[in-house]
A and B are shown apart, each in its own frame.
Chain A
């Protein structure tokens, strides 16, 4: 497991864990969405690095080149990026509506208000 051949994967894993930590520990809903974005980008990096060939080039066929990086990870990640932005937009819209309903985007405060209201009934 030499550093040179695996550092791409390890950095992607470190970034994934940073994103995961943000999603798990921070209570602010908008911050969670940003953490989720970081996680997604790190996953994309891991995926794309699996398709790369040293000495290859982008998978656009050209008579001057013989080796190409594999196009399939690129296609899958292209889809994933756009789906990611759709998810982010929806999550942020929900956060905005929660803020309008509860007056806060902190998950804990919203839950406490819910508990207080259901306890008062």
Chain B
């Protein structure tokens, strides 16, 4: 027990230090890196608290995608922040301290950490998810079965949210601003030989791993979101090493736009199909002729595929939006 607590204490200490450093440091590139460290450490803490799917997603999304997007935004804006005047920081500090004190006082009503008879654990839905799901769905990863089947409507809403965000970023950043074209000088390309070789070596395995995570989400941590982000990370790596134009030639926007919509359509299409087969929206039992469990498996497979396709396209489109916008005014000079 005390060994785990030491790990917990160390991880929380790193989190607290990174959090306070994020608040105090004004050089925004450093803050972007620190936020990546923050996300990765929180992913470790999620593993300590048995949330392996969440840790996977947080590591991929928080430490990967968010850092890339932050760096892209910082390259287009200023990288140094102005000093916060005390007229703003003192009232904010007071509000934060008061709210924190209230929350800590209120947290006394929460059940103690980790006990077995808290309201969360004793609610009848726990037994439904952990015990009945074996007969009803038969998928070992309970998080996947809850995400895709029991709470499929929430996940549908989430896929639409990602779709909307990608469309909105496309509207905001999609049109190329006039950019200065900087051809990589030849000596630079020579110096990048190591990077190019390693990238060529790794990208196939990254994409393969994305496929593995997509389809293995039933049996281990994984699923559509993580797979989508890993796929996008592979393409982002390609773009970072070989140039945005090469990436845009390999994975063009005219392929991504229909894919983005295709994922949402697939998800909604499964729901409409079950409606047409006579059941409720997203009632997977009806998808296979006589066997509800097989129907559930098929439904979860299709739905997760839809999620994976949309998340991949959305993340790549977000990256293209930020990276393709061009050099903005005052980059890094203020």
Q: Which residues of A contact B (CB under 8 A)?
A: 1-2, 4-11, 13-22, 24-28, 30-31, 33-35, 37-38, 41, 44-45, 48-54, 56-62, 67-79, 81-90, 92-97, 99-100, 103-106
Please provide the chain B residues from 37 to 83 with a CB less than 8 Å away from any CB of chain A in the complex: 38-39, 42, 45-46, 49-54, 57-58, 61-62, 65-66, 69-70, 72-74, 76-78, 81-82
A44, B76: Cα distance in complex, Å: 30
User: Which residues from B are CB-within-8-Å of A97?
Assistant: 172-173
Q: Evaluate whether A71 and B114 lie within 8 angstroms (CB atoms) in the complex, with A17-B100, A81-B62 already known.
A: no
Q: Please report whether the interface of chain A is mostly helix, strand, loop or mixed according to DSSP.
A: helix
Q: Evaluate whether A50 and B110 lie within 8 angstroms (CB atoms) in the complex, with A60-B140, A95-B77 already known.
A: yes
| B126 nearest in chain A by CB position | A70
Q: Is the CB of A20 within 8 A of B220?
A: no
User: Which residues from B are CB-within-8-Å of A95?
Assistant: 73, 77
User: Which residues from B are CB-within-8-Å of A2?
Assistant: 112
A73, B142: Cα distance in complex, Å: 12
Please provide the chain B residues from 1 to 54 with a CB less than 8 Å away from any CB of chain A in the complex: 12, 15-16, 19-20, 22-23, 28, 31-32, 35, 38-39, 42, 45-46, 49-54
User: Which residues from B are CB-within-8-Å of A21?
Assistant: 23, 92-93, 96
Q: How far is the CB of B80 from chain A (nearest CB, A)?
A: 9
Q: Evaluate whether A59 and B142 lie within 8 angstroms (CB atoms) in the complex, with A24-B92, A34-B31 already known.
A: yes
Q: Evaluate whether A44 and B42 lie within 8 angstroms (CB atoms) in the complex, with A25-B84, A28-B81, A61-B134 already known.
A: yes
Q: Is the CB of B88 within 8 A of A79?
A: no
